[in-house]
Amino acid sequence: MIHFTDTNTDIDLMAGVTRNEGSGFADFFGDLILKCPTYLFARQFSAGVADTHRVYFYELDYESELYGKHTGCDPKTMGVCHAADVPFVFGLPLIHTKDFLPQDLVFSRDVMRLWTKFAKDGRFGDEWPQLSGAGVSSGAAPLVRSLDPTNMSRIYTDPYHNTCDGVWQTYYQ
């Protein structure tokens, strides 16, 4: 299932990042199947269209309790699962208020505002930097927006350097 590029380096890296076997497997599987291919595609696409298009990227750092209950996803051991943003994008906390926490309602409004702004003019505004930061040709580190109701201004700088750019990049070339 796995094709390491340098077994000793890759195992040392993964051993340093994982918290236990269950969460380690969840990190590995998520990176292999979804996170890294998506991120690496976005980086490559950004480099190819830097003069004509904007590319944004985000990391969802929050999952509602309701989503976890319905999907069996446990953020403590599995991280935030794929599609956990869907209830917020479509305003489910505003419709089913009794099933969500008060911060979920605010978060859903924030996410809908961001998506609507992007749909209207292709920009998220100054609060959300492009993935390529200062530009692909500048060699600047990638910038990734965190979506989390506890800190809506967090921006990660080069968050996938060790995993996607380190371990998995050669695998997907």
Residues 54, 114: Cα–Cα separation, whole Å: 15
Torsion of CA 119, 56, 83, 158, to 10 degrees: -170
pLDDT at 64: 92
Q: Which residues pair with 143 in a beta bridge?
A: 157
pLDDT tens sequence across 133-172: 655 555 678 999 999 999 999 999 999 999 999 888 888 8
The two structure tokens encoding residue 165: 């750019």
> Going by DSSP bridges, is the β-strand pair 58-60/155-157 parallel, antiparallel, or unpaired?
unpaired
pLDDT tens sequence across 99-131: 999 999 999 999 999 999 999 998 888 888 999
